[in-house]
Amino acid sequence: MPVPSSGSFSRAARYLAGGVDSPVRAGAPMGGPGPILRAARGSRVFDIDGREYIDYLCAYGPVILGHSHPAISAAVAAASQAGTVFGTTHDEEIRLAERLTTHLPSLERLRFVNTGTEACMSAVRLARAHTGRSKLVRFVGNYHGHSDGMIFSAGASANTARNGRSGVTRGVARDVIVLPYDDVAALRECFGRHRADIAAVIVEPVAANMGLVLPDARFLSELCALCRESKALSIFDEVITGFRLGLGGAQGRLGILPDLTCLGKALGGGLPIAAFGGRQAIMDGLAPVGAVFAGGTFSGNPLCVAAARACLDVIEGDVGFYPRLESLGRRLASGAQAALVKAGLPYPVVSIASMVDFMFRTGPPHRDAAQAAQADSGAYARFYWAMLDEGIMLAPSQNEVMFLTAAHTEKDVDATIGAIERALLRSR
């Protein structure tokens, strides 16, 4: 199996906490870290030993145009000549905000931040101030960043502890109600008990941090209806789905508008920019109009704004952009399913747009975190290393999905399907 050479990970561990800047990169479920990368271009990444991989990790979602896209590189280079940070409002962030509101009608006003964590944290704080209530409803397996109220019972590689050594206090945990995902009955019961105390419900409209889960249409519509009836706010965390499921995100695709929306990842095409927004009446709660603080030195950073504008330029200028991604997603999903059938493995493949996923679990597609936890982590680990041997980069956790980019080709996908077939046979 490929491993970092020259003691590079051991060296990293001497200076970086745990050898990484995000826990999932350590590859604990895989038995250790995967390759250490040096460069990325198009649909490929390259490790420090010169090995080349077709990339489906895609930095966990931001890379929608492909790595080192010339339009983004040029936009960032040009912006750097005008100034890397101002500390004031600048004209390009105004232009970007205007464009975002045309694509997402739920965004009457928005505010830029740096990360999805900040966007979700700020949206919840605003919701509590707007409603005068304290309770937040979340769902097991949904990941909304690593702020205290979001991190326990989260998806992805997050620490699921509620208190004690995790650093999350019992006081924080008392204000958060965690429910099973895609469970309308549990949601109704929750509102029946806590209707007057619920400030907001935050949800991934398509869950992509416990594998890929496409919720029943009734779940999201009922969620928004319950919020409206009780005067709580609905918050769609579209950090992953925004600009990946279409210019209108999941809400545009599904035709369901929330009160507040969180964006990130693909918005910047590979640079760190995020945003949250919603109706003006709610967003006016933010200082300086209202009393809720949300800001930062690098919020609306001109380099990241330039990258986001360039990313939108490419997408908006190509009517075939999303149809091609959808076609590649279907091609990969059907090919992966055929490979699983050939290997005698009854695992269902789930896909939407440019996200594809299968977990090492028999039966129908999983619907929540409890079912996702039934997947065979050892089998996925063997498959992960076999795929690296085949020259395919996947996430070092089967809670994450496979992402496609505009740089992937049918040839890439067909090569990947062949690699899946061989890796499944080798790793059984």
**The CATH number fitting domain 8-68+319-427, selected from 3.90.1150.10, 3.40.50.9100, 3.40.50.80, 3.40.50.300:** 3.90.1150.10
**145/154 Cα distance (integer angstroms):** 9
Walking along the chain (428 residues) 10 residues at a time, the average pLDDT comes out as 62 91 89 94 97 98 98 98 96 98 97 98 98 98 93 59 67 93 98 98 98 96 98 99 98 97 98 98 98 96 99 98 99 99 96 98 94 95 97 96 99 99 92
**347/263 Cα distance (integer angstroms):** 31
What is the predicted pLDDT for the residue at 169? 85
**301/92 Cα distance (integer angstroms):** 10
Beta bridge partners of 138: 178
Question: How many of the other CB atoms lie within 10 Å of CB of 173?
Answer: 18
Strands 355-358 and 198-203: unpaired
What amino acid is encoded at 303 in this protein? L
Residues of the chain with CATH 3.40.640.10: 70-316
What amino acid is encoded at 297 in this protein? T
**135/9 Cα distance (integer angstroms):** 42
Axis-axis angle for helices 302-316, 321-342 (nearest 10):
80
What is the predicted pLDDT for the residue at 147? 92
Phi-psi region of 211 (alpha: psi -120 to 50; beta: other; left: phi over 0): left
Residues of the chain with CATH 3.90.1150.10: 8-68+319-427
Query: Can you read off the two tokens belonging to residue 376?
Result: 């065979």
Residues acting as catalytic residues = 143, 237, 265
What is the predicted pLDDT for the residue at 217? 84
Does residue 173 contact residue 179 with C-beta atoms inside 8 Å?
no
Spatial neighbors of 396 by CB under 8 A, at least 6 apart, are 24, 25, 27, 29, 30, 33, 34, 384
**260/280 Cα distance (integer angstroms):** 10
CA angle at 74 for the pair 70 and 78, rounded to the nearest 5°: 175
What is the predicted pLDDT for the residue at 2? 52
288 upstream amide cis, omega within 30 of 0:
yes
Give the CATH number of domain 70-316.
Answer: 3.40.640.10
What is the number of alpha carbons within 13 Å of residue 49 lying toward its C-beta?
13
Map residue 109 onto helix, strand or coil: strand
**143/383 Cα distance (integer angstroms):** 25
**162/358 Cα distance (integer angstroms):** 29
The pTM of the full predicted model, rounded to 2 decimals, is 0.95
- For residue 13, give Cα distances in angstroms to 10, 16, 18, 70: 5, 5, 5, 34
What is the predicted pLDDT for the residue at 162? 45
Question: How many of the other CB atoms lie within 10 Å of CB of 111?
Answer: 20
